[in-house]
Amino acid sequence: MDKSLITLLFSCTLLISLCFPPSVAQTCRDYAFSGNRSFSTCNDLPQLSCFLHWNYHPSNMTADIAFRKSGASTSNWISWALNPRRAKMAGSQALVTYQQSNGSMYAYTTQLNKSPNMQPGGLSFDVPSITAEYSSDGNMIIFATLQLSDILLSTNQVWQEGPMKGGNPGTHSFSGQNGRSVGNVNFINGSVLSTSGTSSKTQKRNVHGVLNAVSWGVLMPVGIIIARYLKVFKSAGPAWFYLHVICQSSGYAVGVAGWATGIKLGSDSPGITYGTHRNLGIIIFFLGTLQVLALLLRPKPDHKYRRYWNIYHHTIGYTTVVLSIGNIFEGFDILESENNWKTAYIGVLVFLGVVTAMMEALTWFIVIKRKKTASSAKHANGDNTYGSRLQQTA
């Protein structure tokens, strides 16, 4: 081969290697811990250049973990947490560390509520040991032993980093990678699921919420509006009744499906209970079932007990809708859903409220007008009768 060609090829190869060096991206398995620590399982977390290492001990259900942030700044704090209730930092059981002004690392546990103060506190599970270090290669690491329970063996995990302010952890960013640093960890099989998308359990919760919001929170109120107002219009004939039955029956059917998904979610989440939401759901399902059964016992319009049946039917119906709307908002709080979900449902309620107000005014106007017309006709008939009697007398 021509020497000039060989020289050209060598030069091109050297130039490419200098401009595009091979990737040196670190993975969890590449890392060597100090003190001869080793971990059998590890995962590269998808956000914030963080890694989770652990050894799980099934005999006593404990896990030795190391949460590591590479390229960490000593002016930042880091945190890793478990949250069996939801894939959010709020309500989580967290491990936190940061470097103090004297250069030592401070590691502690804290429970994070909706307005976290990041102050030390106990967790819902035991943490027999927790330490931290800042390595010479720029890794900030939390070491801890966790006493797990059944619901923590596979659960939500969240992790964060944020700035130090005045010697205390400050507020972290809520956008970018900080807003996506959530996932699911299984300590037994070693899997980690990123939930920058949506986890299976979250999808089930969303399905449960949509089914119940549409059924108890939309179809049922629409059915009541139809029954209360359309029957005033003579042109509606018996159609209003069939529309009412269709709305209520379909609402109940969809509601049963939503109720069943809630039962399934509860059985899949042992140890996690939402007392108010669950109890209201049971009451609503019971009242809805009574309404359906009441159709089978509906007396004829001229029956002497029809009045009492109407009182029962209306009372149960309105009570069911009011409790349902309250429980839907209770569900929004549990899901900690984005505001646009709650805003959308509030918009639906406002629309139904406006329709109800307009129909209430219109139907009252029609009823009052009919009464006046009937009263005028009655007086006219009375005058005609009186005049006829006078003529007969004469």
Q: In percent, how much of the chain has pLDDT > 90?
A: 38
Q: How confident is the model at residue 19 (pLDDT cuts 50, 70, 90)?
A: very low
Q: How confident is the model at residue 5 (pLDDT cuts 50, 70, 90)?
A: very low
- The rounded distance, in Å, linking the Cα atoms of 149 and 153 is 7
Domains of the chain: 41-186 (2.60.40), 200-375 (1.20.120.1770)
Binding residues: 208, 244, 277, 313
Per-residue pLDDT reduced to its tens digit, 158-177 = 999 999 988 888 888 877 88
Q: Hey, which residues does 251 pair with through a beta bridge?
A: none
Q: Tell me how far apart the 2 most distant CA atoms of the chain are, in Å.
A: 144
Binding residues for heme b: 208, 244, 277, 313
- Report the first-to-last Cα separation within the chain, whole angstroms: 143
Q: Which one is predicted more confidently, 337 or 249? A: 249
9: pLDDT strictly greater than 60 = no
28: pLDDT strictly greater than 90 = no
pLDDT number for residue 394: 44
Per-residue pLDDT reduced to its tens digit, 172-192 = 887 788 888 888 888 888 765
Q: How confident is the model at residue 91 (pLDDT cuts 50, 70, 90)?
A: confident
Instruction: Write the burial class of residue 358 (CB in 10 Å: 0-12 exposed, 13-18 middle, 19+ buried).
Output: exposed
